[in-house]
């Protein structure tokens, strides 16, 4: 498959900007480090030519930005969406959170994005620059004279390794080849592994993971399913208000409540785990719900179709009983 | 029902993929069956008897070699029971046993006339022998 | 009844139309069940937010049970069907986190099933009592 | 259009007409039939038992050969079509059989029922179109009253075969019409001729066939057409007063390629 | 801060026997907000209620907690008490310390402890209560009945007789429906026309009833008591108010080869037509698909012969809008198509007919004037085979048949068989059945008469194949009791086709936000207790649109639906349940989750302008709950991800407070 290059995107962006199709472009801008990219709006061709970045660290899911960015702007925004982003985008359309007419979607094919922590594990700390070369990522650290090469395969983010679909479920235009859904991606492997443990082992596992939470709210802030006008955790009347670490219930329950809130709506984009500074595998909570939904109520992929009825706002008279959940698994 | 029999019953049900409990005893399978008059036990009886574990008489009956596998009962059954598949499962339960081939190669020469398409022989072997 | 010093705290959410009435019937018929069962009345089992269940656990409940009308008999026609899905998923998640599955339960109980209500509460209390105090949810975050 | 072609054993011996005319007509209609190399007998009958995998292998080999060429698989014989189509359906829907067959055959890429299976008639209806056939007719069979004899294998089980309404099929009637003849609908066109039971109980098969040919005659049928060698055998053998030909032969007559056969 | 009074009831010894009521009252005194706490033998007695009233005045209470029996028993009583003392009735909470405490526990200590906790929970909840007022909406005193069959006719007559205005919308040119096509009716065998047509005349002449025939409902807005309905009156090209129904136009119309749908295509009618002699309204209609004038612009014969000048070839569809307080759905049923059951040769032989066609063939006003003749050759049939359950109880293939029992076929087949044998004793009549289902008054007796007095051959088994051979229909069937395959040479085969809801029902249900089951039958509000109401308030169900029904059941349900409508229309205002959901628009995401779970269609979305903190305005999609429609189940509150949706009287914060109080 042809790799998407920065030039392919910038030329598309500039031409759409020039012919008036769009009035702004949602893209990536360099942050503090070359691997630390910030989603940002570009309004001029010059800005794009100078500052638009596209490399293997463009993992951020743009769909959520569109909820707010499309407000108060004249004309359309051009958004480059990877296959996984299009699912989130569709889900937001389903929930009426984005006005479709305000967005010009250019689907870009994706072979998987890199994960800086995986690279760091190979090269060690002190990364000063990374460049994307044909044979891999050239990583320069402040401790080494020569850059180290990390293969794309070794650098690939966990969520991309078990990518559920390379297919764009929504776009106006496509750059690169259209891919396929990948039903054999084994994304529930780790969930199944946990399910096979004893309750004590599971408890120990989750306690170990969740104990590291510093309640920075990054997972919530990045989650494309979390676009509430007012989050329950910020709402004093919700009974779950809790903005900062405390010893109270809301804190411990934060991740469970959050996972339940997005259950049936989560497209499994994996952003929560990507941004977690403590590397808590939060996607394993969401995937548990997805796996359960698939087994209990039939395959359902949030965002696959606009307007689909999410499993939690639906039912059949023959649904299994909560008590049967465990019988069925033979546990 | 003794144990051996209930195992066999379960095996036949599993092999056929048929759920005999879906039958509502309308008899449309038997009304439809072109081989009805050749059979000692009729399609609806296959369903009923398998459900009740009365397998011996079925397995001994020549009825299992009379089903034409025309699938008319399968298509016309209002409940999707698929009696023909049960007949086949009972027949397989018989001919898979040692020495129970219903048709043996030595039976063939005298019955073949020269126009008979080999399709008939091939099919008969698949139906009557393992 | 077994003599047990430890009395687990059980919170029961009962829908107004079937289960709360069933609990009343249990009372009318003087069918006893442990006093550590405390009932909260909700209009329909579908009013029970998973947060309520978690809150109860966090505040010290040892078991939480939801009671609603039998499927197909919901006063609001479909409320308990939503409950069924929500709680199936929530309980499965709690189990996934290592919280004993015996601590959570959904039971359908009609206004005529006073005896079933009492029996359910007896069984559930006993099952929870056998587990001992609920520490896990509170402890989930705090590594020793 | 190029398609993979599975003739089947009988078409190589007793039913050469069915095969030859099928090839001739395909040529005229712009279809290239590429015979699958080293095909094996389909077995004549599909075994419905869920724990049968060996009897599915020959069909799967043919299906896989077509898949490897990226072609649809076409059959003319009703029995082959029934076996191959049912096998294909099972491979697509029954995970257990799929696993067993693939484990046994150990292909590079497992086969899971991907190949599109057509009966020759379906190919004509869905791909070529009866209008095209009508255009190509040189000897319209005007005034001939033709009865279609479907038998069982083309239509049933309908959930798998999905060729036509099993109780009121139209596909051969439409073909007959396209060839310029008049189709005659008679009630036993989808009833069984007695099939393979002729081996063991020829009299029984005879009775079944008789009902069909008598009914056709009673409805004023001049000729019967069929797609199945065994059906033809049974009908003819039991003294059909109405001539029985393969549908491909009828096509060949109308399309003007019969003499060349 | 609330000022709460706590009243602990002894209920004689019912509570006081196991609960130390004085200790409970004492303990609850110190709860937050409590300014008064006392106990009394019988709080529900006049003296007890006076005690509450006095305390409300004396201590300026803002809320009352009564620790007593179940709220299902006396909540209403104490709410009235509070209201009488000037307190909002929803500022009363009950702690159930009898049914759920004293009666089920034996130990005084444990009982007392629990009672205190239950009281505490009630106080915690009450602290967060706000006064609630039930909303009132006016009621439009007019009902709409959709469908003019026997169900719609009966409902309309009953409502109209009670003095309310009713409109009937019927899509056909006349009311009457399926019953008008029937010959005799079981189990009494009186003729359908004899009992139906007088009712049709009553409808036509009733001062409270308007008939919109040849019309369709195209849009419904509003809610219970206040529906706005758009009705399309299709152009019939005849002025309804001018036409006298003399029928001269029909005599002269040159286009006489139009399949007559009233006789199910068994004969023909003219392009301008009145469906049958007793039609109401008795007005001609031009069928534009066949009218030569409409198609070619040349003819105009009917216009020439019409003495009153009723013909108007240029008439256009008319759209009218009306207001209604209640809507009754009476859209009825149709027999399913027999296309997929050609093993019975329906498409191959004219002598294979459906039961409804058979009704017309037996009907004195039918195509054969009531003489039973075979459609193919007009000969008298001698052997008739009836096949039951064609397409009913058919689980295998959804595209073929229906999973349910059509309910009416057993009885009408017995009727047909009996009538044939009665009129033509030289016939042999066979009925193939799976089960004979005759639950109804005098039903089984009726069926037995068919067998015992009329000699109808009832055979347990099904027909597998019908083969038209010559002028006979060769029927191949099974006789399960005799274990035989039967071959009958029949002259006619009559198929008891399954019945299905009219195809208009699905789109109507969407307009009405009324729920349907998977078979497109309307769902009732409660299968046992509210069988004639839809879960959507103000929508009522009459007849077979709710499920297969015979005439007695239909008329009974029609009357029941009418009485429910009358019960609604007599009210000047509707008082709602104040414990309804409410959406906080500032927090609402507009995601539609609540709308999807609402069983009543009470939630709608509007685009609303909001001022943002930065002084800009933003249009957002927000949920709005119609309190007149909401029943207060709370499903939406949990579906709502942002917590914008809350339920008054059972607010999230209130239930949380109860949980906290119990788990303290």
Banded model confidence at residue A245, pLDDT cuts 50, 70, 90: low
Task: Determine, for residues E633 and C72 on separate chains, whether the beta-carbon distance falls below 8 Å.
Answer: no
Of residues A34 and B20, more confidence is placed in B20
Domains: count for chain A = 3
- Which ranges of chain D does DSSP label H, i.e. alpha helix? 16-28, 57-68, 78-93, 95-105, 120-122, 130-136, 158-161, 171-178, 202-218, 229-237, 247-255
Give the distance, in angstroms, between the CA of residue C29 and the centroid of all CA atoms in the same chain.
21
D187 neighbourhood in chain E, CB within 8 Å? 345, 348, 465-469, 474
3-class secondary structure per residue, A202-246: HHHHHHHHHCCCCCCCHHHHHCCCCCCCCCHHHCCCCCCCCCCCC
Q: Quick check: is E662 in a domain?
A: no
First to last CA, chain A: 44
Closest by CA to E534, choosing from E568, E504, E503, E500, is E568
Q: How far apart are CA D202 and CA D210, in angstroms?
A: 12
Instruction: Identify the structural domains of chain D with CATH numbers, from first to last.
Output: 2-120 (1.20.1050.140), 137-255 (1.20.1050.140)
Task: Determine, for residues C52 and E107 on separate chains, whether the beta-carbon distance falls below 8 Å.
Answer: no
DSSP E266: S
Q: Could you tell me if A150 and A209 lie in one domain?
A: no
Q: Could you tell me if E494 and E514 lie in one domain?
A: no
Task: Determine, for residues E469 and D168 on separate chains, whether the beta-carbon distance falls below 8 Å.
Answer: no
Q: Could you tell me if A134 and A267 lie in one domain?
A: no
pLDDT tens for chain B, 130 residues long, are: 566 788 899 999 999 999 999 999 999 999 999 999 999 999 999 999 999 999 999 999 999 999 999 999 999 999 999 999 999 999 999 998 877 788 888 887 777 788 888 888 888 888 888 7
Q: Which of E586, E596, E653 sits opposite A229 (nearest CB)?
A: E586
Q: Could you tell me if E107 and E52 lie in one domain?
A: yes
Q: By the 8 A CB rule, do E260 and E269 touch?
A: yes
Q: Which chains touch B (3 or more CB pairs under 8 A)?
A: D, E
Task: Determine, for residues C46 and E633 on separate chains, whether the beta-carbon distance falls below 8 Å.
Answer: yes
Residue written as token pair 């089980």: D157
pLDDT at E602 over 50: yes
Q: How far apart are CA A68 and CA A65, in angstroms?
A: 6
What are the tokens at A130?
A: 């990374």
Task: Determine, for residues E662 and C35 on separate chains, whether the beta-carbon distance falls below 8 Å.
Answer: no
Q: What CATH number corresponds to the domain at position E597?
A: 3.30.70.3270
CB atoms within 10 A of CB E161: 15
pLDDT at A94 over 80: yes
Banded model confidence at residue A328, pLDDT cuts 50, 70, 90: low
Q: Which residue of D has its CA nearest to B77?
A: D157
Q: Could you tell me if E327 and E349 lie in one domain?
A: no
pLDDT at A243: 58
Q: Could you tell me if E145 and E95 lie in one domain?
A: no
Mean pLDDT of chain D: 93
A296 neighbourhood in chain C, CB within 8 Å? 85, 88-89
How far is D152 from chain B, CA to nearest CA, in Å? 5
Rounding to the nearest 10 degrees, give the CA dihedral for residues A295, A301, A306, A311.
30
E632 neighbourhood in chain C, CB within 8 Å? 43
What value does the mean pLDDT take over residues D36-55?
A: 89
Any idea what the Cα angle at residue C96 is, between residues C94 and C99, rounded to 5°? 50
pLDDT tens-digit series, residues A291-300: 999 999 999 9
Q: How far apart are CA E342 and CA E348, in angstroms?
A: 8
pLDDT at A247: 47
Best residue of B14, B19, B71, B75 to probe chain D, by most D CBs closer than 10 Å: B71
Task: Determine, for residues E462 and B26 on separate chains, whether the beta-carbon distance falls below 8 Å.
Answer: yes
pLDDT at A292: 94
Task: Determine, for residues A228 and E587 on separate chains, whether the beta-carbon distance falls below 8 Å.
Answer: yes
Chains C & E: contacts with CB separation below 8 Å:
137
- Does C103 reach chain A within 8 Å, measured CB to CB? no
pLDDT at A251: 57
Q: Quick check: is E659 in a domain?
A: no
pLDDT at A248: 43
Task: Determine, for residues B26 and E389 on separate chains, whether the beta-carbon distance falls below 8 Å.
Answer: yes
Q: How far apart are CA D236 and CA D16, in angstroms?
A: 16
Mean pLDDT of chain E: 94
Banded model confidence at residue E414, pLDDT cuts 50, 70, 90: very high
Task: Determine, for residues B80 and E393 on separate chains, whether the beta-carbon distance falls below 8 Å.
Answer: no
Q: How far apart are CA B84 and CA E142, in angstroms?
A: 60
Taking domain B3-97, whether its CATH number is 1.10.1060.10 is answered by yes
Task: Determine, for residues E343 and D167 on separate chains, whether the beta-carbon distance falls below 8 Å.
Answer: yes
Bridge partners (DSSP) of residue D145 are D182
pLDDT tens-digit series, residues D176-191: 999 999 999 999 999 9
Q: How far apart are CA E508 and CA E513, in angstroms?
A: 8
pLDDT tens-digit series, residues E526-575: 888 889 999 888 999 999 999 999 999 999 999 999 999 999 999 999 88
3-state secondary structure of B30: helix
Give the distance, in angstroms, between the CA of residue E432 and the centroid of all CA atoms in the same chain.
33
pLDDT at A50 over 70: yes
In this complex, does chain E touch chain B, defined as having at least 3 beta-carbon pairs under 8 Å apart? yes
Task: Determine, for residues C92 and A325 on separate chains, whether the beta-carbon distance falls below 8 Å.
Answer: yes
In angstroms, the Cα distances linking D20 to C128, D30, D82, D252, E321 are 78, 16, 21, 9, 70
Extended strands (E) in chain A: 24-30, 37-42, 52-53, 77-81, 103-108, 127-133, 136-141, 148-150, 173-175
pLDDT at D1: 86
Q: Which chains touch E (3 or more CB pairs under 8 A)?
A: A, B, C, D
Q: Quick check: is E412 in a domain?
A: yes
What are the tokens at C38?
A: 């405390």
Q: Which residue of A has its CA nearest to C58?
A: A249
pLDDT at D163: 95
Banded model confidence at residue A2, pLDDT cuts 50, 70, 90: low
Q: What CATH number corresponds to the domain at position E469?
A: 3.50.50.60
Q: How far apart are CA A85 and CA A163, in angstroms?
A: 12
What value does the mean pLDDT take over residues E222-228?
A: 91
Q: Could you tell me if E395 and E460 lie in one domain?
A: yes
Q: Which of C30, C55, C76 sits opposite E633 (nearest CB)?
A: C76
pLDDT at A244 over 70: no
Q: What CATH number corresponds to the domain at position E265?
A: 3.30.70
Q: How far apart are CA E310 and CA E238, in angstroms?
A: 5
Domain span holding position E36? 4-126
Task: Determine, for residues E394 and B78 on separate chains, whether the beta-carbon distance falls below 8 Å.
Answer: yes
Q: Could you tell me if A107 and A248 lie in one domain?
A: no
Domain span holding position A87? 1-114+162-185
Q: By the 8 A CB rule, do E343 and D167 touch?
A: yes
Banded model confidence at residue C144, pLDDT cuts 50, 70, 90: very low
Q: Could you tell me if A80 and A123 lie in one domain?
A: no
- CB contacts under 8 A, E 573-632 vs A, are 586-593, 596-597, 605, 616, 618, 620-621
What value does the mean pLDDT take over residues D46-66?
A: 91
Task: Determine, for residues D233 and B115 on separate chains, whether the beta-carbon distance falls below 8 Å.
Answer: yes
Banded model confidence at residue C19, pLDDT cuts 50, 70, 90: very high
pLDDT at D95: 87
pLDDT tens-digit series, residues E433-442: 999 999 999 9
What are the tokens at C44?
A: 């329909």
Best residue of C41, C68, C87 to probe chain E, by most E CBs closer than 10 Å: C41
pLDDT at E661: 94
What value does the mean pLDDT take over residues A205-214?
A: 86
Beta-carbon contacts of residue E611 (< 8 Å; ≥ 6 apart): E617
DSSP E185: E
Instruction: Identify the structural domains of chain C with CATH numbers, from first to last.
Output: 10-139 (3.40.50)
* Percent with pLDDT over 90 in chain D: 84
pLDDT at C112 over 90: no
pLDDT at E79 over 80: yes
Mean pLDDT of chain A: 88
Q: Could you tell me if E591 and E553 lie in one domain?
A: no
Closest by CA to A276, choosing from A230, A213, A199, is A213
Q: Quick check: is E663 in a domain?
A: no
Task: Determine, for residues B124 and D51 on separate chains, whether the beta-carbon distance falls below 8 Å.
Answer: no
What value does the mean pLDDT take over residues C114-137?
A: 90
Task: Determine, for residues D79 and B123 on separate chains, whether the beta-carbon distance falls below 8 Å.
Answer: yes
* Percent with pLDDT over 90 in chain E: 89
- Does B33 reach chain E within 8 Å, measured CB to CB? yes
Closest by CA to A225, choosing from A280, A272, A289, A295, is A272
pLDDT at C23 over 60: yes
Q: How far apart are CA E478 and CA D63, in angstroms?
A: 40
Give the residue numbers in B contacting D (CB under 8 Å), as ranges. 14-17, 34-35, 38, 65-66, 68-72, 74-75, 82, 84-85, 88-89, 92, 103, 108, 111, 115-128
E401 neighbourhood in chain B, CB within 8 Å? 78
- Does E525 reach chain C within 8 Å, measured CB to CB? yes
E70 neighbourhood in chain C, CB within 8 Å? 20, 24, 27
DSSP A3: P
Closest by CA to E553, choosing from E427, E411, E431, is E411
- Residues A136-139: contacts with CB under 8 Å, at least 24 apart: A137/A56
pLDDT at D261 over 70: no
Q: Could you tell me if E242 and E198 lie in one domain?
A: no
Q: Could you tell me if A144 and A55 lie in one domain?
A: no
What are the tokens at D222?
A: 């001049």
pLDDT at B2: 65
Q: Could you tell me if A217 and A123 lie in one domain?
A: no
3-state secondary structure of E432: strand
Q: How far apart are CA E135 and CA C78, in angstroms?
A: 25
Banded model confidence at residue E424, pLDDT cuts 50, 70, 90: very high
How far is B85 from chain D, CA to nearest CA, in Å? 6
3-state secondary structure of A174: strand
Task: Determine, for residues E591 and A235 on separate chains, whether the beta-carbon distance falls below 8 Å.
Answer: no
pLDDT tens-digit series, residues E428-479: 999 999 999 999 999 999 999 999 999 999 999 999 999 999 999 999 999 9
Q: By the 8 A CB rule, do D118 and D26 touch?
A: no
How far is E13 from chain C, CA to nearest CA, in Å? 14
E105 neighbourhood in chain C, CB within 8 Å? 32, 35
Closest by CA to B85, choosing from B13, B35, B6, B8, is B13
Q: Which of A96, A227, A231 sits opposite E592 (nearest CB)?
A: A96
Q: Could you tell me if A84 and A14 lie in one domain?
A: yes
Q: Could you tell me if A229 and A299 lie in one domain?
A: yes
How far is E16 from chain C, CA to nearest CA, in Å? 15
Best residue of D148, D160, D161, D168 to probe chain E, by most E CBs closer than 10 Å: D168
Using left for φ > 0, alpha for ψ between -120 and 50, and beta otherwise, residue E522 falls in beta
pLDDT at D247: 96
Residue written as token pair 């997929």: E340
Best residue of A315, A319, A320 to probe chain C, by most C CBs closer than 10 Å: A315
Banded model confidence at residue E398, pLDDT cuts 50, 70, 90: low
E593 neighbourhood in chain A, CB within 8 Å? 95, 310, 313
- Does E196 reach chain C within 8 Å, measured CB to CB? no
Q: Quick check: is E664 in a domain?
A: no
Q: What CATH number corresponds to the domain at position E121?
A: 3.40.50
pLDDT at C2 over 50: no
Q: By the 8 A CB rule, do B116 and D198 touch?
A: yes
Q: Could you tell me if E361 and E409 lie in one domain?
A: yes
Task: Determine, for residues B79 and E394 on separate chains, whether the beta-carbon distance falls below 8 Å.
Answer: yes
Banded model confidence at residue C44, pLDDT cuts 50, 70, 90: very high
- CB contacts under 8 A, E 385-444 vs B, are 389, 393-397, 401, 434
Q: Could you tell me if A72 and A59 lie in one domain?
A: yes
Q: What is the DSSP string of B49-116?
A: HHHTT-HHHHHHSGGGGT-----HHHHH-TT---HHHHHHHHHHHHHTSTT--SS-GGGHHHH--TT-
């Amino acid at each position: 498959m042809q790799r998407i290059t920065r030039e392919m995107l910038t030329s598309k962006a500039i031409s759409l900007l020039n012919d008036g199709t769009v009035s702004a472009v949602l893209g990536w801008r360099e942050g503090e480090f070359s691997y630390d990219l910030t989603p940002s709006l570009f309004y001029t061709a010059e800005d794009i030519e100078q500052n638009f970045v596209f490399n293997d660290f463009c993992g951020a899911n743009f769909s959520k930005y569109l909820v707010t960015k499309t407000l108060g702007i004249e004309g359309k925004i051009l958004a480059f969406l990877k296959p996984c982003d299009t699912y989130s985008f569709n889900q937001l359309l389903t929930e009426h959170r984005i006005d479709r007419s305000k967005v010009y979607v250019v689907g870009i094919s994706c072979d998987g994005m890199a994960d800086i922590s995986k690279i760091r594990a190979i090269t060690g700390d002190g990364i000063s620059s990374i460049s994307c070369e044909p044979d891999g990522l050239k990583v320069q650290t402040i401790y080494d004279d020569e850059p180290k090469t990390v293969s794309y395969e070794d650098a690939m983010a966990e969520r991309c390794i078990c990518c559920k679909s390379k297919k764009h479920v929504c776009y106006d235009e496509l750059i690169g080849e259209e891919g396929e859904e990948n039903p054999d991606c084994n994304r529930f492997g780790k969930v199944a592994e946990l399910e096979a443990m004893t309750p004590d082992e599971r408890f120990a596992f989750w306690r170990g993971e969740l104990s590291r939470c510093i309640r920075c709210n990054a997972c919530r802030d990045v989650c494309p399913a979390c676009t509430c006008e007012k989050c329950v955790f910020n709402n004093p009347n919700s009974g779950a208000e809790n903005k900062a670490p405390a010893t109270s219930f809301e804190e411990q329950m934060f991740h469970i409540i959050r996972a339940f809130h997005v259950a049936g709506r989560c497209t499994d984009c994996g952003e929560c785990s990507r941004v977690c500074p403590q590397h808590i595998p939060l996607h394993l909570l969401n995937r548990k719900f997805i796996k359960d939904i698939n087994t209990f109520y039939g395959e359902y992929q949030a965002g696959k179709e606009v307007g689909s009825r999410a499993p939690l706002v639906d039912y059949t008279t023959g649904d299994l009983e909560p008590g049967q959940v465990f019988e069925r698994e033979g546990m | 029902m003794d144990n051996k029999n209930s195992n066999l019953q379960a095996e036949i049900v599993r092999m056929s993929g048929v759920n005999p409990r879906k039958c509502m005893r309308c008899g449309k399978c038997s009304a439809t069956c072109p081989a009805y008059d050749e059979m000692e036990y009729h399609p609806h009886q296959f369903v009923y008897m398998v459900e009740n574990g009365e397998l011996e008489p079925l397995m001994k009956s020549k009825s299992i070699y009379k089903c034409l596998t025309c699938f008319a009962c399968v298509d016309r059954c209002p409940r999707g029971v698929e009696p023909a598949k049960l007949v086949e499962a009972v027949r397989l339960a018989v001919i898979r046993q040692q020495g129970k081939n219903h048709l043996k190669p030595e039976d063939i020469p005298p019955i073949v006339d020269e126009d008979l398409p080999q399709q008939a022989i091939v099919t008969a072997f698949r139906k009557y022998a393992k | 009844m077994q003599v047990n010093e430890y009395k687990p705290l059980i919170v029961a959410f009962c829908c107004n139309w079937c289960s709360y009435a069933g609990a009343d019937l249990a009372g009318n018929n003087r069918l006893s069940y442990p006093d550590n069962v405390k009932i909260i009345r909700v209009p329909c089992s579908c009013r029970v937010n998973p947060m309520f269940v978690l809150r109860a656990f966090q505040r010290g409940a040892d078991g939480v049970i939801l009671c609603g009308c039998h499927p197909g008999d919901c006063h609001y026609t479909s409320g308990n069907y939503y409950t069924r899905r929500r709680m199936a998923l929530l309980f499965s998640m709690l189990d996934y986190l290592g919280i004993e599955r015996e601590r959570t339960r959904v039971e359908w109980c009609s206004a005529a099933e006073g005896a079933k209500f009492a029996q359910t509460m007896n069984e559930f209390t006993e099952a929870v009592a056998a587990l001992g105090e609920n520490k896990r949810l509170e402890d989930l975050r705090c590594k020793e | 259009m190029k398609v993979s072609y599975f003739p089947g054993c009988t078409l190589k011996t007793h039913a050469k007409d069915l095969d030859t005319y099928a090839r001739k007509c395909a040529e005229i209609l712009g279809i290239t039939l590429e015979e699958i190399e080293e095909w094996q007998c389909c077995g004549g009958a599909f075994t419905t038992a869920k724990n049968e995998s060996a009897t599915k292998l020959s069909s799967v080999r043919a299906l896989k050969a077509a898949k490897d060429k990226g072609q649809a698989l076409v059959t003319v014989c009703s029995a082959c079509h029934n076996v191959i189509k049912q096998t294909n359906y099972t491979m697509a829907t029954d995970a257990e059989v799929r696993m067993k067959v693939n484990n046994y055959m150990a292909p590079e890429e497992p086969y899971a029922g991907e190949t599109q299976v057509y009966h020759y008639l379906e190919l004509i209806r869905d791909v070529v179109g009866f209008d095209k056939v009508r255009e190509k007719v040189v000897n319209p069979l005007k005034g001939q009253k033709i009865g279609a004899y479907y038998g069982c294998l083309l239509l049933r089980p309908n959930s798998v075969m999905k060729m036509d309404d099993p109780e009121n099929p139209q596909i051969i009637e439409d073909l007959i019409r396209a060839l310029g003849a008049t189709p005659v609908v008679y009630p036993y066109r989808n009833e069984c001729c007695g099939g393979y039971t002729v081996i063991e109980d020829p009299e029984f098969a005879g009775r079944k066939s008789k009902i069909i040919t008598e009914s056709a005659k009673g409805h004023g049928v001049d000729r019967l057409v069929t797609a199945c060698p065994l059906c033809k055998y049974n009908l003819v053998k039991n003294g059909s007063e109405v001539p029985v030909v393969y549908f491909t032969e009828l096509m060949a007559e109308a399309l003007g390629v019969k003499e060349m056969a | 801060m609330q000022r709460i009074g706590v009243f602990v009831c002894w209920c004689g010894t019912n509570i006081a026997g196991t609960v130390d009521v004085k200790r409970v009252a004492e303990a609850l005194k110190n709860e937050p907000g409590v300014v008064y706490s006392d106990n009394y033998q019988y709080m529900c007695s006049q003296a007890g209620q006076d005690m509450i009233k006095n305390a409300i005045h004396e201590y300026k209470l803002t809320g009352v907690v009564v620790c007593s029996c179940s709220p299902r028993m006396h909540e209403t009583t104490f709410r009235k008490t509070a209201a009488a003392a000037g307190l909002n009735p929803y500022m009363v909470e009950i702690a159930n310390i009898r049914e759920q405490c004293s009666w089920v526990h034996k130990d005084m200590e444990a009982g007392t402890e629990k009672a205190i906790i239950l009281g505490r929970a009630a106080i915690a909840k009450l602290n967060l209560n706000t006064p609630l007022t039930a909303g009132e909406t006016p009621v439009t005193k007019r009902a709409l009945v959709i469908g003019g069959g026997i169900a719609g006719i009966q409902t309309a007559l009953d409502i109209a007789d009670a003095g309310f205005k009713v409109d009937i919308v019927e899509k056909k040119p006349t009311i009457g429906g399926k019953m008008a096509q029937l010959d005799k009716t079981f189990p009494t065998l009186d003729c359908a026309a004899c009992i139906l047509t007088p009712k049709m005349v009553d409808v036509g002449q009733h001062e409270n009833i308007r008939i919109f025939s040849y019309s369709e409902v195209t849009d419904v807005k509003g809610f219970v008591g206040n529906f706005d309905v758009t009705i399309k009156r299709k152009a019939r090209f005849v002025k309804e108010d001018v036409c006298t129904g003399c029928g001269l136009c029909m005599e002269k119309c040159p286009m006489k080869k139009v399949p007559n749908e009233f006789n199910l295509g068994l004969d023909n009618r003219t392009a301008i037509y009145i469906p049958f002699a007793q039609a109401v309204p008795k007005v001609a209609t031009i069928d534009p698909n066949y009218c030569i004038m409409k198609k070619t612009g040349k003819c105009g014969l009917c216009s020439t012969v019409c003495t009153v000048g009723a013909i108007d070839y240029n008439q256009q569809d008319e759209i009218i809008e009306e207001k209604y307080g209640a809507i009754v759905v009476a859209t009825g049923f149709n027999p399913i198509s027999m296309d997929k059951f050609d093993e019975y040769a329906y498409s191959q032989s004219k002598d294979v007919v459906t039961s409804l066609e058979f009704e017309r063939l037996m009907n004195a006003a039918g195509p054969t004037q009531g003489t039973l003749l075979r459609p193919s050759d007009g000969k008298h049939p001698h052997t008739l085979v009836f096949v039951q359950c064609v397409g009913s109880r058919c689980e295998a293939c959804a595209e073929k048949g229906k999973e349910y029992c059509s309910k009416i076929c057993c009885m009408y087949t017995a009727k047909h068989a009996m009538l044939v044998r009665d009129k033509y004793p030289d016939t042999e009549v066979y009925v193939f059945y799976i089960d004979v289902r005759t639950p109804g008054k005098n039903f089984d007796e009726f069926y037995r008469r068919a067998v015992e007095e009329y000699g109808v051959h009832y055979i347990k088994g099904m027909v597998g194949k019908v083969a038209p051979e010559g002028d006979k229909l060769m029927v191949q069937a099974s006789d399960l009791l005799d274990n035989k395959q039967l071959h009958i040479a029949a002259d006619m085969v009559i198929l008891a086709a399954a019945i299905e809801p009219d195809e208009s029902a699905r789109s109507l249900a969407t307009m009405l936000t009324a729920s349907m089951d998977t078979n497109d039958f309307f769902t009732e509000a409660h299968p046992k207790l509210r069988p004639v109401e839809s879960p959507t308030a103000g929508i009522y169900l009459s007849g077979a649109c709710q499920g297969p029904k015979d005439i007695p059941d239909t008329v009974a349900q029609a009357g029941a639906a009418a009485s429910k409508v009358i019960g609604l229309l007599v009210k000047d205002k509707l008082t709602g349940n104040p414990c309804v959901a409410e959406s906080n628009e500032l927090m609402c995401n507009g995601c539609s989750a609540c709308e999807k779970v609402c069983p009543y269609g009470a939630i709608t979305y509007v685009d609303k302008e909001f001022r943002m903190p930065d002084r800009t305005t933003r249009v957002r999609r927000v949920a709005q709950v119609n309190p007149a429609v909401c029943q207060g189940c709370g499903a939406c509150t949990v579906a709502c991800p942002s917590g914008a949706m809350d339920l008054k009287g059972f607010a999230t914060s209130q239930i949380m407070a109860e949980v906290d109080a119990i788990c303290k």
